[in-house]
């Protein structure tokens, strides 16, 4: 029993109890000569009447709110059906389907961390070995210079019809049609010979399916579709598998850049070490020259004191000079020799 039935039963029971009580009051009024003894019964009946009236008002209010909410839900459902129908109609157009696949592919590339014009190029034009012009949706450049071609223009009109089908037989037929369309697209990609147009390239073409459900539905009708595509050098990739592939490419590019930067750092270190050796040689020569200059200066000072000042001081003794000749002091500073400091790691070890 639900809540509405229980509430209805309580209301009916309350009304029956009220009717029985009123009948008893009428009988007692005819029999009893004193009306004052029925006052408590009248008060109880009035209270019950007010309670039932409040319950009825609350029920009416709740019913009105429920009706309003149901109407809002109906309007939202109608609007959702219109938008869904518009989306389905748009997806039936080949241009819109292709554009949607390109947007999904672009998002995957951004999430993978690849850089445009450095790691990948969108919709480049080229000519294959048969002389036909081709234009894939994406060409990813690997770290070793090779290319991986990705095409995102997959048909899925049969899948839309299979989802909309209400009859099981019709749904099975539409699923089979969807698998047939996907298989035909694999054949078309194999015939375009994309790898020959972007040499050096990986010997396969990636067919990007913008939803995992598209591939799962096609495999229901044709379980050998993946093996057939592999045999035609076409790899069918869903968003999850393609993201894993693109992340691997991004990781290889980061590793390549780190290795390239490490080589540049090593070359700069070698150049710096060579220049430091040259500077150390100059400092050694400069220190030797300074030490020799100090020794020669001190020798000159000693000769000056012995040979010149002894004669000059005679002028002081004779009282001819106004001021005595100052005596130059020898230089006692020593030039510090260049010695490498001990390695802190070797010292602590």
β partners of residue 147: 141, 201
* All residues at 6 or more sequence positions from 100 whose CB lies less than 8 Å from its CB, including other chains: 91, 210
Residue 19's pLDDT is 64
Residue 349's pLDDT is 47
Residue 187's pLDDT is 92
Is the pLDDT at 283 greater than 50, yes or no?
Answer: yes
Strand 147-151, strand 138-141: pairing: antiparallel
Is the pLDDT at 168 greater than 80, yes or no?
Answer: yes
- The answer to whether 258 and 291 have CB atoms below 8 angstroms apart is no
Q: What is the mean pLDDT of the chain?
A: 76
Query: Best-predicted range by mean pLDDT among 61-75, 216-230, 254-268?
Result: 216-230
Pairwise pLDDT comparison (37 vs 42), residue with the higher score: 42
Is the pLDDT at 89 greater than 50, yes or no?
Answer: yes
Instruction: Give this prediction's pTM.
Output: 0.49
Q: Average pLDDT in the 152-164 region? A: 75
């Amino acid at each position: 029993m639900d809540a509405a039935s229980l509430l209805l039963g309580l209301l009916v029971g309350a009304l029956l109890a009220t009717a029985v009580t009123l009948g008893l009051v009428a009988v007692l009024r005819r029999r009893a000569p004193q009306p004052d003894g029925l006052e408590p019964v009248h008060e109880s009946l009035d209270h019950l009447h007010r309670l039932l009236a409040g319950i009825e008002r609350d029920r009416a209010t709740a019913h009105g709110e429920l009706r309003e909410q149901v109407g809002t839900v109906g309007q939202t459902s109608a609007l959702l059906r219109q938008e869904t129908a518009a989306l389905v109609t748009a997806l039936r157009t080949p241009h819109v389907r292709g554009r949607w696949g390109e947007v999904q592919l672009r998002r995957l590339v951004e999430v993978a961390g690849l850089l445009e014009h450095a790691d990948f190029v969108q919709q480049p034009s080229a000519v294959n070995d048969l002389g036909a012009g081709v234009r894939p949706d994406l060409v990813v450049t690997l770290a070793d210079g090779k290319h991986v071609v990705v095409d995102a223009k997959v048909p899925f009109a049969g899948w839309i019809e299979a989802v909309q089908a209400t009859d099981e037989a019709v749904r099975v037929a539409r699923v089979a049609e969807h698998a047939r369309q996907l298989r035909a697209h694999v054949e078309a990609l194999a015939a375009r010979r994309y790898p020959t147009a972007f040499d050096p390239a990986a010997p396969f073409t990636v067919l990007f399916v913008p939803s995992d459900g598209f591939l799962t539905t096609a495999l229901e009708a044709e379980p050998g579709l993946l093996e057939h595509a592999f045999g035609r050098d076409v790899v069918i990739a869903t968003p999850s598998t393609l993201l894993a592939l693109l992340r691997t490419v991004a990781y290889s590019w980061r590793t390549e850049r780190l290795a390239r930067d490490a080589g540049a750092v090593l070359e700069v270190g070698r150049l710096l070490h060579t220049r430091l050796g040259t500077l150390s040689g100059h400092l050694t020569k400069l220190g030797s020259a300074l030490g020799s200059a100090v020794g020669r200066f001190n020798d000159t000072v000693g000769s000056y004191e012995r040979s010149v000042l002894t004669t000059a001081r005679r002028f002081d003794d004779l009282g001819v000079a106004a001021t005595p000749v100052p005596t130059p002091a020898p230089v006692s500073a020593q030039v510090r020799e260049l010695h490498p400091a001990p390695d802190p790691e070797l010292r602590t070890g």
